[in-house]
Structure 1
């Protein structure tokens, strides 16, 4: 956004707020709440504080709404599996994808020189993994924060109405991850497969030196991942590589979770 658009009193700024309202399908009674939800801490505004408090609120509200939705939708699902399903819908990658899909980052008031590069990296990741990558791409938290801060702002503007806030959140989050397309994080999937086969894994941490994580069975290298910006992403990439190699060697069935087991 340009400085002109960023100016709270400018016609372009007011128009940008209307654009966001159109995207989310909700018109704010208190426009200042939306302005706050779109203000990063790097942007200096003596009148408007950053979105951090609204993001904190929106994070909790969104987690509760998703929890409530799944609790009644899947009455026989165990709590641990409900947690996996919730995470797939509200983790950093899922919410960053939501912000990117709807172009919400374009309305953020900020002075973060790295944002454009982060958005471009996410764009390339989404192209490679159209659905959730389960940790194989690094998703910028700042994009996820925008979604949570907007949800927090809606919650306050509706006088704390969960029903009205859920209407907005559910629309934004579509398509929601369901049992039919739920998959496991690569590390979890690899560890579960190896436990079933009685295989012991060893992780070699070369991340500080080269950005690498290597996985071994005995002296045999079975997986390697590299990502210098974040260790967790490098570890996920290594696990995905190891699982793929094991699947070829041992004939592992690479599919989604056992839905029948989840529902019993």
Structure 2
């Protein structure tokens, strides 16, 4: 079985081996691939944005190589078709993710659940090319730079909802609290100055419920800034629990 990547033919032995052999140390594989990706984007960004301070460059690199971004690459290029697994819920998780990226075409910043298995496929493919090219960073970048498009750039990157909410509350001296109801109702609520202003629900991961609650609070926080006595809460989409 082989896969054509930008005219670069490679066997998918590494992918099949990783995803079908439980004894294979996948965490070790990921640890060896992620430094390659980080270095490639660091080098690329250094030359593209020479005047950028380290902080924004770090954020830009991180969002281009995180689980959601790599999972999107797998879906875009149908690499998930090569995934062999015995996980009964994974098919539904992939379907949910494919619907989610329609709402957030570039990146959701933690609002949708990206299956780690999808990112693993991309990492495995990158690792296979890295090994077969005798550890050539230039070859890996040449093969994958187009496949990783659309790359998130300074003009398209958005703040994480948790980061944005915390910054606004700090700037305005608002008292921010998160109420953890996840075990009882899969919900996280946001209180600002003891007023309920946001709520998010997601059953599979508490972190995503919290991110959705933060986003919901951001949608309502303008009412607080304008009139603290007239705050209404609009729930985020909770059709997927």
What is the CA-CA distance between 1:175 and the residue it aligns to? 1.1
User: What corresponds to 2:67 in structure 1?
Assistant: 92
Mapped partners of 2:86, 2:17: distance in 1? 10
- The alignment's TM-score, normalised by the length of structure 2, stands at 0.87
- The alignment's TM-score, normalised by the length of structure 1, stands at 0.80
Match of 2:15 among 34, 37, 42: 37
Q: Is the 8 A contact 1:37 1:54 kept in 2?
A: no
Q: Which has the higher contact order (CA 8 A, sep 6+)?
A: 1
Higher helix share: 1
Whether 2:95 is the aligned partner of 1:120: answer: yes
Mapped partners of 1:206, 1:80: distance in 2? 34
- Which residues in structure 2 correspond to 1:120-199 (within 5 Å)? 120-199=95-174
Mapped partners of 1:238, 1:94: distance in 2? 22
User: What corresponds to 1:26 in structure 2?
Assistant: 8
Higher strand share: 2
User: What corresponds to 1:11 in structure 2?
Assistant: none
Q: Is the 8 A contact 2:130 2:140 kept in 1?
A: yes
Q: Is the 8 A contact 2:175 2:194 kept in 1?
A: no
Mapped partners of 2:188, 2:34: distance in 1? 31
- Name the Cα RMSD after superposition: 1.9
Mapped partners of 2:22, 2:64: distance in 1? 32
| Aligned-partner SS, 2:106 | coil
Change (3 A) 1:205 1:105: same
* Aligned residue pairs, count: 226
